[in-house]
Amino acid sequence: MTPRLSVIIPVRNGSDFVRGAIASAQAIPVEPLEIVLVDDGSTDGTWELLQRLAADDSRLLVVRRDGDHGAAAARNAGLAEARADVVCFLDADDVVFAEPIARRLEWHEAHPRALLSFADHQSLLPGGAIEPRASAYYPRFQKFVNGRKGIVELGVQAFDLLYGENPVCTSGSMARRDALIALGGFVRELSRAQDWDMWIRLARCGGVAYSNRIETQYTVRPGSLSHDIKDRNRHIAKVVRRHLGYALRRNPVTALAALSHVEDARAEHCRQANRNVAAWTHYLTAFVLCPKVRQARDVARATAVLMGMRSGRIESLEERARLVALRGARVLASDVPAR
């Protein structure tokens, strides 16, 4: 029987954490369900683990790749094996929340013209602290959503919203398999940001929707962070250039927002390298290209660093987790009724 949903999980050397992703996919109350596990040349016993798990659950299909490594190629390999009309992507160190995913699949089945949907997510920091609602980091997108609940269709603004900034969490994103294949899959030449490029291409072709429910938990691990930030920024700029001509013809404001996104990424790289003058220059350029409150705050912060009024130190993951936990404690304390 043809599956209603295919969950694609690429993994490389993930024997310490992939069980959680698989278990969250297995819990999705959808029948028939297919889970495609793509081992991207692991050397730590992941392949053997996946085979053992697949032997106990017929819904698991295991694919082995020994060459041409990378997220794009691994996702394309999973896409080639998937049989459902709708596929859900899940990174090996993240988890999905079963019931909301099933409800969104039902929405897809009732809206066959929708090519892509994604949802809000929370982040799990080292030590167990939770950062809620990652979508709050995307002001242009939140202005469009404007507090609407449930599943919100982006309509004619889909391209503008996804190109100007990238609010899509790859884990938990759903797309129509035929649309992904028609577009040639993920671009393998993009070792980073190939998922963002795909969402933009889908938005240029058809309907996109967003669920404001938290449906995925993204795990922040020191080893999973983009250690080569310069290379990451280079690929962000490459994706922007790939669609810049279309954006300029469609809406120059969107093009400027995307270029501002590139400058913002470059500023963060300079900030982490303690190149404060260069960081200030990129932040200011980002503000000039897209004058928003967030960009203004970044310029003000960078100016204060240059003037010696504040430290330019980047918070470590541990400090970030401590601050999140502290905020959570304050919220809980505020909920206690006064005596």
- pLDDT confidence of residue 329: 38
The last residue of a domain, from among 167, 202, 224: 224
Do residue 69 and residue 191 come from a single domain? Answer: yes
- pLDDT confidence of residue 220: 84
Tell me: the pLDDT tens digits for 237-254?
Answer: 999 999 999 999 999 999
The last residue of a domain, from among 180, 206, 224: 224
- pLDDT confidence of residue 334: 30
Do residue 29 and residue 175 come from a single domain? Answer: yes
Q: What distances in angstroms separate CA 187 from CA 71, 85, 110, 181, 264, one per listed residue?
A: 10, 21, 29, 12, 24
Do residue 88 and residue 31 come from a single domain? Answer: yes
Do residue 112 and residue 253 come from a single domain? Answer: no
Total domains in the fold of the chain: 2
Distance between the two ends of the chain, CA-based, in angstroms? 61
Asked whether residue 327 is assigned to any structural domain, the reply reads no
Asked whether residue 335 is assigned to any structural domain, the reply reads no
Q: Distance between CA 77 and CA 62 in Å, rounded?
A: 11
Asked whether residue 137 is assigned to any structural domain, the reply reads yes
Do residue 19 and residue 130 come from a single domain? Answer: yes
- pLDDT confidence of residue 338: 29
- pLDDT confidence of residue 131: 86
Asked whether residue 75 is assigned to any structural domain, the reply reads yes
**How many CB atoms are closer than 10 A to CB 272?**
13
Q: Amino acid letter at 157?
A: Q
Do residue 98 and residue 178 come from a single domain? Answer: yes
> Residue 270: which domain range?
229-306
Q: Which domain CATH number covers 150?
A: 3.90.550.10
Query: Could you tell me the mean pLDDT of each successive run of 10 residues in the chain, 339 residues long?
Result: 97 96 98 98 95 98 89 96 98 97 98 97 86 80 92 97 94 98 96 95 97 94 59 91 97 95 91 91 96 89 90 58 49 30
Structure pTM?
0.89
Q: What are phi and psi of 263, to 5 degrees?
A: -65, -35
Q: Report the candidate in 142, 140, 161, 162 with the shortest Cα–Cα distance to residue 292.
A: 140
Asked whether residue 48 is assigned to any structural domain, the reply reads yes
Do residue 216 and residue 266 come from a single domain? Answer: no
Asked whether residue 321 is assigned to any structural domain, the reply reads no
Do residue 65 and residue 165 come from a single domain? Answer: yes
- pLDDT confidence of residue 126: 79
The last residue of a domain, from among 224, 239, 271: 224
Asked whether residue 89 is assigned to any structural domain, the reply reads yes
- pLDDT confidence of residue 323: 53
DSSP strand pairing (174-176 vs 114-124): antiparallel
Asked whether residue 63 is assigned to any structural domain, the reply reads yes
